[in-house]
């Protein structure tokens, strides 16, 4: 006797349908809390080897998943695209109650295997990776807002350093959001402020050069707002926000590295030329336990770089990637290719060789197609090395 629990998870509630040998015997709605999961647990304990299936609904299904893990139940978690393909042809109406029952009914036909349950460390790294990505987005947003504010108060200060970023730049902007504040200070005072603007040790020559450049910039500046304008406080706010966000992001990265160092794939990833610790921990965080994939092609589909093929009669459409997978992982691996290519001058790799060869063959073509093709190679390489617990060896790739 087979008993299947089909569960349709929503934000606050879940619809449960219980089928025995294909026949519905019970159905009810539960809140996604202790009370609701206790009701579900009572029914699960009445059955031997229950089959539990539900559709992943982002953060909303994580509570159900945690409940099942904590009580040692295996389950099948469908991604939304997979569920849509399997259920669309079977339902003429769509409600939560119908979806829960359809999920259970299709299990008797499709006999889906239980989902691979990753170790908790991979879940932690994924959450940290998303936090890191969110902080990066916030930093970019704050930089843009700071730049916009400075155009009205003191745009010349952006040219003071080679790159308008970092702690020293932010500290100087906080102190001098307006050119008038620079001209109020004596040269000795300005040198002390420049010296204290960074925790790093800088030479006196560098202090003098920056002070001279700061004075020159202030003398050339013509602000669009007066000294009592709220724009000055706006500029200070976003400069302080950048300091805070950068410190928080560094703390998150340190935590990711600390956790990832215990995993064998961390050293495997670092052995690939061009991949540093930030990229390595981000890849682990977004791809999770690579051992759960049956082939590298599944990883391609997971991040959305599998190709969409369309042919009808004599017409053959140009192939494009599906972009249906993890956008964060796709972005990280895309940047990783360019890091690998940049590092190839001193640290060669077969991935960089492939990229360079394709670029020579089509020098005027856009770089995106062969960057994607190089990502395929990188994923195959990662999958092989991690599955066999080997580090990268460029010489071995030349013998194949």
Q: Which CATH architecture is the domain 124-257 placed in?
A: Orthogonal Bundle (1.10)
Alpha-helical segments (H) within 261-326: 264-270, 277-287, 296-303
What pTM was computed for the model? 0.86
Sign (positive or negative) of CA dihedral 108, 109, 115, 116: positive
CATH of the structural domain 3-110, one choice from 3.40.190.170, 3.30.420.10, 3.90.400.10, 3.40.50.300: 3.30.420.10
Count other Cβ atoms within 10 Å, centred on residue 30. Answer: 17
Q: What is the pLDDT of residues 249-263, one digit of tens each?
A: 999 999 999 999 999
Q: What is the pLDDT of residues 288-299, one digit of tens each?
A: 999 999 999 999
pLDDT at 400: 57
Average confidence score pLDDT of the chain: 91
Residues 136, 138, 140, 141: what is their CA dihedral angle, to the nearest 10 degrees?
170
Common-topology check for domains 3-110 and 124-257: no
Q: Could you state, in order of their start, the residue ranges of all structural domains in the chain?
A: 3-110, 124-257, 263-398
pLDDT at 316: 37
pLDDT at 368: 87
Give the angle subtended at the CA of 92 by the CAs of 88 and 97, to the nearest 5°: 85
Residue 347 has pLDDT above 90, yes or no: yes
């Amino acid at each position: 006797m087979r008993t299947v629990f089909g569960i349709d998870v929503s934000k606050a509630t879940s619809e449960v349908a219980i089928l025995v040998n294909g026949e519905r015997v019970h159905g009810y709605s539960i809140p996604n809390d202790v009370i609701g999961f206790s009701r579900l647990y009572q029914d699960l304990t009445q059955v031997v080897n229950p089959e539990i299936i539900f559709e992943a609904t982002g953060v909303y299904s994580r509570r159900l998943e945690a409940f099942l893990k904590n009580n040692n139940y295996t389950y099948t978690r469908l991604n939304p695209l997979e569920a849509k393909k399997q259920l669309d042809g079977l339902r003429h109406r769509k409600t939560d109650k119908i979806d829960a029952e359809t999920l259970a009914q299709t299990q008797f036909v499709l006999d889906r295997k239980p989902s691979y349950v990753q170790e908790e460390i991979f879940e932690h790294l994924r959450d940290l990776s998303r936090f890191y990505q969110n902080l990066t987005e916030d930093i970019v947003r704050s930089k843009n807002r700071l730049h916009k504010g400075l155009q009205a108060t003191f745009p010349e200060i952006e040219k003071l350093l080679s790159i308008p970023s970092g702690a020293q730049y932010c500290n100087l902007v906080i102190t001098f959001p307006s050119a008038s504040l620079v001209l109020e200070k004596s040269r000795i005072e300005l040198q002390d402020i420049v010296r204290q603007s960074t925790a790093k040790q800088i030479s006196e020559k560098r202090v003098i050069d920056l002070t001279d450049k700061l004075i020159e910039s202030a003398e050339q500046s013509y602000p669009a707002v007066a000294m009592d304008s709220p724009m000055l406080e706006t500029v200070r706010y976003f400069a302080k926000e950048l300091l805070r966000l950068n410190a928080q992001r560094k703390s998150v990265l340190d935590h990711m590295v600390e956790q990832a160092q215990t995993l064998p794939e961390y050293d495997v990833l670092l052995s690939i030329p061009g991949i540093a610790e930030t990229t390595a921990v981000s890849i682990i965080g977004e791809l999770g336990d690579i051992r759960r994939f049956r082939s590298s092609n599944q990883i391609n589909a997971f991040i959305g770089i599998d190709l969409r093929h369309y042919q009808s009669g004599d017409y053959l459409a140009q192939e494009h990637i599906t972009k249906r997978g993890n956008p964060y992982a796709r972005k990280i691996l895309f940047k990783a290719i360019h890091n690998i290519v940049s590092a190839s001058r001193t640290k060669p790799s077969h991935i960089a060789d492939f990229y360079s060869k394709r670029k020579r063959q089509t020098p005027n073509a856009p770089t995106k197609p062969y960057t994607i093709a190089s990502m395929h190679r990188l994923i195959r390489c990662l999958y092989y090395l991690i599955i066999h617990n080997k580090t990268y060896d460029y010489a071995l790739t030349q013998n194949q």
